[in-house]
Amino acid sequence: MSSKLHRERLDVAKKAAGDRWQDNDLVFASKVGTELDSHNVR
């Protein structure tokens, strides 16, 4: 996946999360911008 496409997907996730989004400057974030839980990543 290109970095541009990944950024676009993150932007969609930010909009979907609305006020719940936490901008932590992560490359891979949960649906609300927080760190991914290692139990949910494969």
At residue 40, the pLDDT reads 76
At residue 41, the pLDDT reads 80
At residue 22, the pLDDT reads 94
At residue 27, the pLDDT reads 86
CA–CA dist 27, 31 (Å, integer): 12
Q: Encode burial over 19-29: b for 16+ CB neighbours within 10 A, e otherwise.
A: eebeeeeeeeb
Which residue type, as a one-letter code, is found at position 10? L
pLDDT one-digit tens code per residue, 4-38: 998 899 899 999 999 999 999 888 888 899 999 88
Closest C-alpha among 11, 32, 9 to residue 22: 32
pLDDT-based confidence at residue 39 (cuts at 50, 70, 90): confident
Spacing of C-alpha 31 from chain mean position = 5
Neighbouring CB atoms inside 10 A of 8's CB total 11
